[in-house]
Every structure is written in structure tokens, then in C-alpha cells.
């Protein structure tokens, strides 16, 4: 994974800024530059209208000064020889647009963001900004829980060899290349997951003849999926015992696997399409993301940046 410029988006209200620590470790090992940033739209203050324009501006100015000082202190505490650390405080609305403008202007190739999820990354804990970035960020986006380990010991990559959910073939290659790079970087175990429910419609028929036929079809479909997964993982020299086909819906199987196996970081692809007024992420990806209990690295297909400019 190309990593030469890293943007860490931090939340000053958190007791631990794991995103800063994770980004610093990656910057050190990849020889990358690092920017520590805080983004804020001050929606509550501005929309309340209780303070008046002058006091509102004064409050925002004070916040920016205090936040800039906090970032500078954090950068000083993290500073290491040979690592270039910059700090940025940006305000404005829409907040996601400000982040994406910064990503483009700074030519960043990785965004690492704090996610205050306690023990769980769930829909309730994702902020609106998180969801906007998951849909729209053109470079890999890593969401890091405040309770995460310093170094992930187990990494999982979710792939879809048949591209049944609209994912281009090259996305699996990007997912595996990135996951292997991270596993090597962290000296972590890597597992590769492919989930698909093979039970066809009507498989629960009480009539013996059709039921037997459906079971045969199910076994053939499952074998087809296992073979496709094996062909994909063989190309990347993945240990066969670390490649898992799960006969269940991806939206349930992938979060369950990460939870049961103690996965610390899931690498997965997110594909978005243009709706009437905004980019829409696939429902399966949203369901998976909304039920994870681990950190996630979301990757877009090649060419996504050009397609959304």
C-alpha cells in the first residue's frame, strides 16, 4: 500500500487518540509525512443564534486557538526524529467537503480517523461525518476505536470473488495487497473471508424430491465459491487454513467472524453509486460496517477519485 502522506483526523474530546498513535506508527515505518488535523463545523453554536455574530465569532476564534495549541502539544509529544508532523485546524460546512478538500489539496494517500465507539463500531457510534467519508473518501480510510490495541494482532480481509455486490474485480486485489502489507507491517495474522448464502429459494420445501435437488444445487454453488476463493488466495500465497468461505449472508457472517475470531482490523471494499442527490453505498457494506466490533480500513475501487470529482 502506497503510504507517503498520512492525514490523521482527531477528536480532542477523547481520552485516547488512537488514530494519532496508529498514524504515527505507520508514518515511522513507511517514511511518510503526517498531518494531525481537527475539523469542526460549529453547527450547535452557529444555528442556536443565541450569542450574536460577534460573540459567535469570538467563541470560534478561541476554540481554534485552543485546538491549535492542543494539536501542537500532541505533535510535540509524538515527535520523533525523521518524521515530519504538521498540524491543521479547519472549520466550515459542509464538514465532509472540508475534509475531502484537504485530502485532495494535501495529496494524502491514507486517512486515519478517531472513532469513539467504546467497544463497538456500530451505526449508533458512527458520526454523520464517518458515514460521509465511508461513502466518499477516495483514499483508504481507517476508522480507529478509542479502545483499540496499539498494534492489531489479527487482520481480516473481506473479498467477493464473484463480485456479486457490484464490486469490480480489481478491488479484491487492492484489498488483499493492502491487507498483506498491513499484516507484514504489524506482524499480524491475516485471514481472508468470503461469505455468501448458497441456499436457493425453495430449498426448505417439505417435498422430498425438490429438497434433495435443492441440496445438490446448494453443494454445487458452495463448491464453486470455495474454488473461486482458493484461486484468488493462491495468487496471493495466502495460507489455505487462513482462507474461509462462510455459507451465510455477508452482512451477518463477516461481523460474526471478526467478533468470534478476535479480529482487530477488517479490510474491506466499499462501492458507491450516484443516486439522485448523493453517493449511495451498498446496503451490504453498510450492514457490515454497522455491526463491527473492530477497526476498519475501507478501500475504494481504482478510479473512484476521478469518478467523483
CATH top-level class of 151-309? alpha beta
- 235: which 3 cell numbers? 495468487
Residue 119's pLDDT is 42
Residue 276's pLDDT is 47
> 116, exposed or middle or buried, with CB in 10 Å at 0-12, 13-18, 19+?
middle
Distance between CA atoms of residues 115 and 17, nearest Å: 9
| Burial annotation 52-61 (CB, 10 A radius, 16+ → b, else e) | eeeebeeebe
Residue 11's pLDDT is 92
Q: Domain map of the chain by residue range?
A: 1-148, 151-309
- 305: which 3 cell numbers? 477519485
The correct answer on CATH 3.60.40.10 for the domain covering 1-148 is no
Q: Is the pTM of this model over 0.95?
A: no
Q: Rounding to the nearest 10 degrees, give the CA dihedral for residues 284, 285, 286, 288.
A: 90
pLDDT tens digits in sequence order for the chain, 309 residues long: 778 999 999 999 888 889 999 999 999 988 999 999 999 987 655 555 556 677 878 888 999 999 999 999 999 998 776 788 999 999 888 999 999 999 999 999 999 999 865 444 454 457 889 989 999 999 999 999 888 888 899 999 999 998 755 567 799 999 999 999 999 989 999 999 999 988 754 555 554 555 567 778 888 899 999 999 999 999 999 999 999 999 999 999 999 999 999 999 999 999 877 654 556 667 888 889 888 989 999 999 988 874 555
Residue 189, strand partner residues: 154
Residue 85's pLDDT is 94
Q: Provide the pairing of β-strand 33-40 with 121-122.
A: unpaired
Instruction: Give the three-state DSSP class for 224.
Output: helix
Instruction: Give the three-state DSSP class for 17.
Output: coil
- 122: which 3 cell numbers? 456500530
Tell me how crowded residue 146 is: count the other CB atoms within 10 A of its CB: 17
Residue 44's pLDDT is 59
Residue 54's pLDDT is 79
Largest Cα–Cα distance of the chain, in whole Å?
79
Amino acid at each position: 500500500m502506497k503510504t507517503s502522506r498520512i492525514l490523521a483526523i482527531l477528536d480532542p474530546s477523547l481520552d485516547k487518540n488512537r488514530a494519532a498513535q496508529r498514524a504515527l506508527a505507520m508514518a515511522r515505518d513507511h517514511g511518510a509525512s503526517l498531518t494531525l488535523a481537527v475539523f469542526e463545523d460549529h453547527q450547535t453554536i452557529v444555528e442556536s443564534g443565541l450569542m450574536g455574530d460577534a460573540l459567535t465569532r469570538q467563541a470560534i476564534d478561541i476554540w481554534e486557538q485552543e485546538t491549535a495549541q492542543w494539536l501542537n502539544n500532541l505533535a510535540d509529544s509524538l515527535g520523533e526524529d525523521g518524521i515530519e508532523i504538521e498540524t491543521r485546524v479547519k472549520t466550515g460546512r459542509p464538514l465532509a467537503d472540508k475534509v475531502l478538500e484537504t485530502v485532495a489539496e494535501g495529496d494524502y494517500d491514507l486517512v486515519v480517523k478517531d472513532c469513539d465507539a467504546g467497544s463497538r463500531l456500530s451505526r449508533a457510534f458512527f458520526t454523520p461525518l464517518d458515514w460521509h467519508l465511508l461513502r466518499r473518501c477516495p483514499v483508504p480510510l481507517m476508522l480507529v476505536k478509542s479502545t483499540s490495541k496499539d498494534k492489531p494482532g489479527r487482520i481480516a480481509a473481506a473479498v467477493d470473488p464473484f463480485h456479486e455486490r457490484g464490486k469490480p474485480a480489481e478491488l479484491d486485489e487492492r484489498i488483499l495487497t493492502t491487507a498483506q502489507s498491513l499484516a507484514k507491517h504489524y506482524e499480524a495474522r491475516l485471514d481472508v473471508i468470503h461469505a455468501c448464502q448458497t441456499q436457493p429459494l425453495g430449498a426448505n420445501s417439505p417435498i422430498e424430491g425438490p429438497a434433495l435437488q435443492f441440496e445438490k444445487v446448494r453443494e454445487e454453488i458452495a463448491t464453486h465459491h470455495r474454488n473461486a476463493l482458493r484461486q484468488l488466495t493462491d495468487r496471493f500465497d495466502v495460507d489455505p487454513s487462513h482462507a474461509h468461505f462462510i455459507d451465510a449472508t455477508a452482512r451477518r457472517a463477516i461481523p460474526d467472524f471478526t467478533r468470534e475470531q478476535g479480529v482487530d482490523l477488517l479490510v474491506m471494499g466499499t462501492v458507491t453509486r450516484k443516486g439522485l442527490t448523493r453517493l449511495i453505498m451498498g446496503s451490504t457494506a453498510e450492514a457490515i460496517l454497522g455491526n463491527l466490533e473492530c477497526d476498519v480500513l475501507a478501500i475504494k475501487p481504482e478510479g473512484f477519485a476521478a469518478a467523483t470529482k
